[in-house]
Amino acid sequence: MNPIQRALGPVVSVAAHRFAAALLLIAAAGLARAQVPATQAVQSGASTLPAAAIQDASPSMRIGAPGRPKVALVLSGGGARGFAHLGVLRVLQEQRVPVDMVIGTSMGSIVGGAWAAGHRLDDLRVLVRETDWDAVFSATAPRRERDYRRRTEDLSYLSRFSFGVGREGLILPRGTFQAHELDSILRRVALPVQNRTNLDELSVPFRAVATDLVTGDMVVLRDTSLFAAMRASMSIPGAFAPIEIRDQLLIDGGLVRNLPVDVARKLGADVIIAVNVGTPLTPRNKLNSALDVAQQMVNILTEKNVVQSLSELGPNDILIAPDLAAYSFSDFAAFSQIEAAGETAARAVLTRLAALGIDSERFAGWEAARTGRPAVPDPIRIDDVRILGTSFTNPQVLLRELDIRPGASYTIQDITEGMRRLSASGDFDRVDFSLAGPEGARRLLVMPSETLVGPNTLRFGGRLESDFRNNNRFEILALHTLRWVNSYGAELRTLLRVGSSRELGTEFYQPLSVGREWFVTANAGVRGDDFELRLGSTGFTAAIGSRTYDIGGTIGYRLGLDGEVRLGYGLRRLQTFPRAVESLIPSTDDQFQVLGARLGWDTLDDPNFPRSGNLVLIDWSRASDLRSGSSLRRDAGQFVWENAQSIGRNSLASSIRLGYGRGGASPLPLGGFLILSGSPPETFTGDRTVLARTVFAHRLKAVSGVRVGVSLEAGDAFDRGETLRISSLKRAFSLLAGTDTPFGPVYVGWGRTLGVRSSLYLFLGRP
């Protein structure tokens, strides 16, 4: 498997490419010494594979007349190009060719492992088609599986990358992408053989090839679960975090043996059917960038060992090399075409394959034995649950989040969903589990691998808005989070914002129980803003600066993973001062006590380009002047509702925003990109605001992640006592193109507010 190419396909943005390429460049340089001779000892875990295992690898699968050759199927890595393996398997099935063992690397280990575990070809094709490959190569876990507190961070213009903070400075994550979705796919594949810890016990004996990240040696996995074997072989360096098996830190096997012919030979194979789908070296005229060079470095490592493996094929072996010149390692959308190419290549050697076939009756029996695995017990009574190997997380909290109670019965699918919930927390690189003990004393062992980044993290972000005229705004953010301050999972979160707005704020979040339903917070912060104030009916405006100091706290309740409700009290000091025209605008310095309530609910699948779900936000506050004898009150509130729906590559995101203010408090003004597009920012202000918006977007097939669309907007601002008339609402529309990146959504567009003006836009961040 070519690791860097699979990590850096068009399933991610150009920005992600460059970030991942830098990491992979380092990984590739470190592994350059990892090339080993073809005669190297084959390893299982940390030990050399014993000769007995080679001689007796699959005696139960020997079929046909005595003397029939022992057939091994060797499947290489190649990313999406590995879908060709399914086409080859289809031809083998048609020609009734039984296989005695399967050896796979990277994508070859997934296809081969699934087939060896007894999955039918049609089921594998459905799995490939249903998989969201963009989600597999995502920097975060699926949003709906993270809790509401983590989801709110998505709305703060933060990037998706988290860095650890230690004594030596920033700690880079071991992988650019979150392996949550990849783990889910592999668990689904391994589900029928979840309790098998020896790969010889599968329907067809299986081996997966990985690379020891410390020594650079090849590791052939046998005495482990199918999930762990596939996950190790697929751990693309720099893309997915390596996994540890028996004290060995393992990554993608393509770096040392992308087409493991020698492994099959050492296991006693008489005939090897080798399927090579690796990516060839890039020609000189296409090596035009640092990314191209980084890709080529790993290509060299991979293709060099493939050439060695090809030289080890004998006259009785069969090489199948599909014509995949038109497809890259990342063309996951071209599944049907790539599968067909594999089938075509297999038919080119049909005569040789047919010679290995058996009669229909015996093959039917063999196929029934391969796919007739025992059903997974449904449900399983769990008598004990234990969390193993944690250091900074609290096992008791994890048990509550897992929601698997001793004495009750659960399906394997129920248990797997519990693992997904733990994985989505962001505290773990992966979460594995096993079942031990007989019925009546069955124990669920949960083995989370805590992230190397740790509980002390830093995220950066930004927001940029320009209409290529006088309205240019930017913000740069840094969010520091110290998690697991105590055993209940308390957090200290500090946000720094500089640019058009300035802010420094901190919040201490304390759950009140192991279940973490109830919580309290304490917060303090200061914020500075600049805005323009209209001077009555003169048509003039004055530049005003403000500085707000807040201190307070809230008590809240979690509404599952999807929402929360809070009640709060605090003290506020508000200072305003003129930037100019000091004689007309006096400075102010007011102090208030503030009561507030907030309800949040968020099930959007993506905060930037949602395709399903809803977001609801209801926020109210009352600020009472603390001066003696003053009855001044400033009320403010807002209601936000967003809904997203989709059909195919088309999505429709609609929203309604209502705001009100009283006693000098003002709701958010209207104007700017997707907030009455075309008009300048903060053009429309008043005691009441209303905005309705619909954005239609079409995702381009040829360019993954790029969307083009149109927005329709209507809204206005008016003062208390004025009557809102639908016919008088300002109407606007925009044409836009956008893409999501690890650093936030990026848009370019053109908008127009009818009767006002039009503008071009460049926008980074969530409008």
The residues that are catalytic are 106, 252
- Tokens standing for 625? 């002047």
How many other CB atoms sit within 10 Å of the CB of residue 145? 19
What helix, strand, coil percent values describe the chain, rounded to 5? Answer: 25, 35, 35
Q: Token pair of 581, please? A: 């025209």
Q: Which two tokens stand for residue 635?
A: 């009320």
- The residue type found at 715 is G
Give the Å distances, CA to CA, from 147 to 1, 152, 433: 35, 9, 22
Query: Residue 706: which of 678, 677, 748 has the closest Cα?
Result: 748
Q: Closest by alpha carbon to 228, among 371, 376, 109?
A: 109
Sheet strands (E) in 56-179: 71-75, 101-105, 163-166, 169-171
Closest C-alpha among 257, 241, 260 to residue 249: 241
Q: Is 372 exposed, middle or buried (0-12, 13-18, 19+ CB in 10 A)?
A: exposed
Q: Please give the backbone phi and psi of residue 252, each rounded to the nearest 5 degrees, phi first.
A: -50, 130
Name residue 767's beta-bridge partners: none
Secondary structure (DSSP) of 101-136: EEEEETHHHHHHHHHHTT--HHHHHHHHHH--HHHH
Cα–Cα distance, 326 to 435 (Å, whole number) = 45
Q: Which two tokens stand for residue 466?
A: 């320009």
Pick from 58, 134, 125, 132: nearest CA to 85: 125
Q: State the DSSP code for 284.
A: G
Cβ(123)–Cβ(130) below 8 Å: no
Q: Can you read off the two tokens belonging to residue 707?
A: 């969307």
